[in-house]
Chain A
Amino acid sequence: MSTRLANGGRLIDRNAKVDFTLNGKRLSGFAGDTLASALLGEDQMLMGRSFKYHRPRGVVASGAEEPNALMNLGEGNTFEPNARATTTPLFGGLKAASQNHWPSLEFDVGAINKHLSRFLPAGFYYKMFIHPRPLWKHVYEPFIRRSAGLGRAPEAEARDPDTYEHFYHHTDVLIIGGGTAGLSAALTAGRAGLDVTLMEQNAEWGGRAPVDATCGGPSEIDGVSVDEWINNAIQALEKMKNVTLRTRTMGAGVYDHGYVLCYERLRDHAPELDGPRHRLWKVRAQQIITATGAIERPLSFAGNDIPGVMLASAVRDYAVNYGVSAGDRTVVVTNNDDAYRTAIAMVQAGLSVPAIVDARTMADQGLVSQARALGIEVKQGMGIAKVKGTKRVTGVALCLQAGEGAVLEEIKCDVVAMSGGWSPVVHMWSHCGGKLTWDEDGQFFRPDPDRAPTSHDGKAFVSVAGAANGHMMLGAGLADGASCAAKVVAACGKKVKAKDPVPSATDVTEAPMAPVWIMPQGANISLRAKMWLDYQNDVKVSDVQLAAQEGYESVEHTKRYTTLGMATDQGKLSNINGLAVLSGALNAPIPAVGTTTFRPPYTPISMGSIAGEAKGDIFQPMRRSPLHDWHDDNGVYWEPVGHWRRPYCYTRDGESHADAVNREVKNTRENLGLLDASTLGKIIVKGPDAGRFLDMLYTNMMSNLKVGRCRYGLMCSENGFLMDDGVVARIDEDTWLCHTTSGGADHIHQHMEEWLQTEWWDLKVYVANVTEQYGQIAVVGPNARKVLETLGGMDVSQDALSFMGWADGTLAGIDVRIFRISFSGELSYEIAVKAGQARALWDAIYKAGQGFGVMPYGTETLHVLRAEKGFIMIGDETDGTVIPQDLNLQWALSKKKEDYLGKRAHERSFMADPARWKLVGLLTTDRSVIPDGAYAVADGVNDNGQRNTQGRITSSYYSATMERGIAMALVKDGPDRMGEVLTFPKTDGTEVRAEIVDPVFYDKEGAKQNV
């Protein structure tokens, strides 16, 4: 039985009862509880099932290292899997559900897997499922996914109602960990006047010193109680304006150049509050101190995964912090002195400790004497042969640690508090390349100060303090915090005053710990097969030994072969024990075996915190043209074009999109169409050398363009591939306005700046991207001139403004610049207007156009109109592998110019190859529309047994003008094969045939646009 004690519990408020449920069962705890402590208080030791064998699992730890107690939290929109009960703060109405069991936590059919355990050894997945291949996909994987697996994914349609955010924080010194060493470091760095940020993952400051102070000590720092010293330290730090303090904020990852992600959980303990649930701090620190403490290691004895076997530190944490007893009778098993504190704490709580089983034999001093003085029996040189019980510990069988496991006696108990020593939390140190060194005394890896993570200047930017640095004693940790901070202060260019106080505590003398990796050391295979290393992934001592036997010598390989440390806890408990077993099996020293790689985040952080504010309306920027609202009010069907939304078409009552497009096409050809072309890129290029510069950028000549005229131009990349196209207008003697594609505006602007800044810096040219300064309205169709004349303000006649000319003036009293250019083949005016007046102009034209059959048209109609004219579209006819020659655009490749970007590339043999596929038009023999992207097949098959191909559709539309399907395609020897019929297989198994024709389907002479 685990239960709530009558007294104790420094973190809970016994006056504030909190109700919650587990698997629908109503339970209660107190404010300040974690979910784990509340469950234990309600005698709920069983908290989960293991991944592979579905073994019943109880809580093992009291903090972030917990491997077993993973829960589903919430439901519906707030459902979240894999929450660690030990770090989940309890709140009223919390709904928890246990994971990985079927049909119930108490009775799980999957547990039958444990009887199959001899058939599920290390590497089982590799060995069993590799052949035959189809069985993996169709049989094994679905079965394993159903029977195993941890939390389930949220429902596909669930939407998290909470908000999240990022916060960029700059500081001189970031200290990760608000235990006593971190506090000590913060005091020193804070007093030196640096900007100091101190992050603590728990809700309380001080780490585990306050717990240990109650059971074996030390109980005082600087002559006051540990609790009081911590309070004083926090008060002192709060008074310093240069210090930022955060609880519930975990250091998640350390990256290059002092970049650190910290994960703040603002409302996990109080979901009723306003504001974001989590905040991801993106910290840029000059120096980082990791004061992340240490994690206790389990011991490997048979049955060490039975619920009731817990870390010794966790057993006393639950008693001291939450007033919860894990059980009435606790057997402590240890290889070090620290675990004696648990025995002392249990006796102080009025509970029974039948024995301390100590694998060592050593003198009676310090904590050992204290325990004996309390009447606790200490059995030296002993170990646990096996734990008795299935869903709950009922007792232990003891043996000699030095032996093979012959049972000497049995002791009834319901808790086994184990301690295999402590491992510094070196994760933050290691994330960015900090190296470790093996500490023989403590039997752990600790940071090697000579091989710290270094920044751009080759100097260390991460330091480590306290238990994380291997200083496991309180006094030593405090001193280490201060001295570490002093060094960091110096690295930041400041000084610590000589009289700056260093907090001190008198450490209790502890006897050396003994390395115990297997208990008993000579255990036979049947015992070793019941010694769990990784609880979550069901990896046992025997699995690691088998991996070594099968040749997996590298720790990284063993990890992947056995899945040791690959679960959601990332091996926080299993890491050192696993590699110690591996080193034993390989007969190599532990440091020679090494560790696996520590990667961020330290413990899982929420997906929401990573997404930050990006959800709902602000998931992504949506670029709106100045006419956006008009479109929205007039039946628009939107099409995303990059981040822009552009009208695809405007539907009228009951119309399909296809109907709408056909109507828009016909109306534009016959009457008057309006297009919002505001997204078109507009870049001003100005300077005495602007003409030279543009001649280099475009394949054709731009320097000889006359003021007042426009010219279509092509741009190629250095490799000769078509990159962008558009109309260039010459504004004055040294100013050109370059129009780019909508998607190309930013890119071409950058492209220009790059060449000007890095290669042609001697050219006197400035560029400015004025894309968004102007709305651009295309007025298109036979009635285009009439409507503009109705508005009045400037002469738009053929004489005054001829095809490919431009003019400034006013329309309906609004300043405009009109370009007489056409992407449709019709009489067309593109009118640029200041964005703030674009809507007024559009309204005026639309109103005046009522007498001329005006209709707005969208991008699909734009595409059909241009395809009917055989105009290419960047992104349709080009895909990054197409050169102007492929599109029969040789006319736009200047022969007069000595050089331009792409010219040399076009001379490469492959570019000049006459066999390159070239642009043609296609008319289907049955008038249907060929699927875009379809391939024309040729005779024979290739090496892969696929049909050979000879062409590919680049654009395909239903032409309302011609009342049939039309297409453009790149075809081998295309232009020389007019009249030939190609075959295009479709994905439905049928084929469509099409005749090769000239790509200009409509008004070949260009008469209609030039009137």
Chain B
Amino acid sequence: MSKAISALNGQRFEGAVTVKDLGPRGMITLRGDLSSAAVKKAATSVSGAEMPQAGMCTIAKDQGIAWMSPDELLVVLPYADVDGAIAKMGKTLKDTHHLLADVSDARSIIRVQGTGVRDVIAKLSPADMRPSSFAVGTMRRTRMAQVAAAFWMRDARTIDVICFRSVSEYVFGILSAAAAEGAEVYPK
């Protein structure tokens, strides 16, 4: 089996804030009743993370769970682990109405990192990026300029953005423009 290639193939932009492709990442869409024990177990057992509250995510390092909607989770884990995880989750959910889909290749994951990372995102997304509304661990499904995107706050200087694969170049482009030197909203 040949090695999977992410759409951005490791691109990186160094501006006032850094923008970089994180490469292939395992992502599994799980739809189901989030209050059901089987759904919780399926998500937590493969990700090793707690169930997130609504609007939050429990992604630490490279794996965890993001809340996508009242009946949808995104399970994030290493790319190579996806097939095994889906098989395991399928077993757990055998008697529960659910949907599991591998969406790892359907998306790109882009890291935006540096002082002023909130402002870079705020140039593109109407989400309220104030720390009081968007603390570390918050997940937002939203829009970035002209396309759908989602992002979560990994730490105080780092936001991971996911977007659809076909628009990866566009999202990388708008993030780079927003992160460019001289474009800081609050220059030092």
Q: List A residues at the B interface (Cβ < 8 Å).
A: 163, 165-170, 195, 273-276, 279, 282, 284, 612-614, 617-618, 620-626, 643-644, 684, 686-688, 764, 766-768, 770-774, 813-815, 834-837, 839-840
Contact = CB atoms under 8 A, between A and B. Distances in A.
A813 B2 CA distance: 8
A623 B166 contact: yes
A613 B31 contact: no
Interface in B157-188: 164-171, 173-174, 177-178, 180-185
Given A768-B31, A768-B99, A772-B106, A165 B177 contact: yes
B101 interface: yes
A623 B148 CA distance: 12
A94 B2 CA distance: 58
A979 B180 CA distance: 67
A772 B165 CA distance: 6
Contacts of A274: 180-183
Interface string B15-50: 000000000100001011000000000000000000
B107 A772 contact: yes
Contacts of B58: none
Top 8 nearest A-B pairs (CB, nearest first) are A274-B182, A275-B182, A836-B4, A766-B99, A623-B166, A773-B106, A835-B105, A772-B106
B126 interface: yes
A169 B127 CA distance: 9
A275 B29 contact: no
A623 B168 CA distance: 8
B4 A168 contact: no
B164 A618 contact: no
7 contacts: A274-B180, A617-B173, A624-B7, A624-B168, A626-B165, A768-B29, A773-B101
B138 interface: no
B145 A773 contact: no
Interface string B118-152: 01001111111110110000000000011100000
A168 B122 contact: yes
Interface of A: prevailing SS: mixed
Given A767-B99, A813-B1, 15 more contacts: A163-B183, A168-B125, A168-B129, A169-B122, A274-B180, A274-B183, A621-B167, A622-B170, A624-B168, A643-B167, A766-B99, A772-B105, A774-B105, A835-B7, A837-B105
Contacts of A163: 177, 180, 183
Contacts of B32: 766
Nearest to B102: A773
Interface of B: prevailing SS: loop
B4 A837 contact: yes
Contacts of B182: 273-276
B18 to A, nearest CB: 17
Contacts of B61: none
A774 B122 CA distance: 31
Contacts of B24: 836
B6 interface: yes
A686 B106 contact: no
Nearest to A810: B1
A836 B147 contact: no
B12 interface: no
Contact of A623 (B106, B167, B177): B167
A203 B16 CA distance: 25
B97 A688 contact: yes
Contact of A684 (B1, B7, B101): B101
B97 A625 contact: no
Residue among A170, A625, A836, A840 facing the most chain B CB atoms (10 A cut-off): A836
B103 interface: yes
Contacts of B167: 621-624, 643
Contact of A168 (B1, B104, B123): B123
A703 to B, nearest CB: 17
Nearest to A169: B122
Nearest to A273: B182
Given A684-B101, A773-B103, A836 B6 contact: yes
B101 to A, nearest CB: 4
A624 B5 contact: no
Residue among B102, B147, B177, B180 facing the most chain A CB atoms (10 A cut-off): B177
Contact of A620 (B127, B146, B177): B146
Given A170-B129, A613-B178, A770 B123 contact: no
A330 to B, nearest CB: 42
Contacts of B119: 167
A195 B170 contact: no
A772 B7 CA distance: 11
B4 A613 contact: no
Contacts of A688: 97
Nearest to A815: B1
Contacts of A814: 1-2
B105 A768 contact: no
Contacts of A774: 105
A511 B183 CA distance: 50
B88 to A, nearest CB: 18
Nearest to A689: B97
Nearest to A246: B185
Contact of A770 (B97, B106, B133): B106
Nearest to A775: B105
B170 A170 contact: no
Contacts of B177: 163, 165, 613, 618
Nearest to B98: A766
Given A168-B127, A772-B106, A836 B173 contact: no
B105 A167 contact: no
A255 to B, nearest CB: 13
Contacts of B125: 168
Residue among B6, B125, B147, B170 facing the most chain A CB atoms (10 A cut-off): B170
A767 B31 CA distance: 9
Given A274-B182, A688-B97, A621 B170 contact: yes
B154 to A, nearest CB: 21
Contact of B122 (A167, A273, A626): A167
Given A623-B166, A770-B103, A771-B106, A687 B123 contact: no
Contacts of B171: 621
A75 B107 CA distance: 44
Contacts of A169: 122
B1 A686 contact: no
Residue among A617, A618, A644, A840 facing the most chain B CB atoms (10 A cut-off): A618
A367 B31 CA distance: 76
A621 B147 contact: yes
Contacts of A687: 97, 99
A967 B170 CA distance: 38
B86 to A, nearest CB: 12
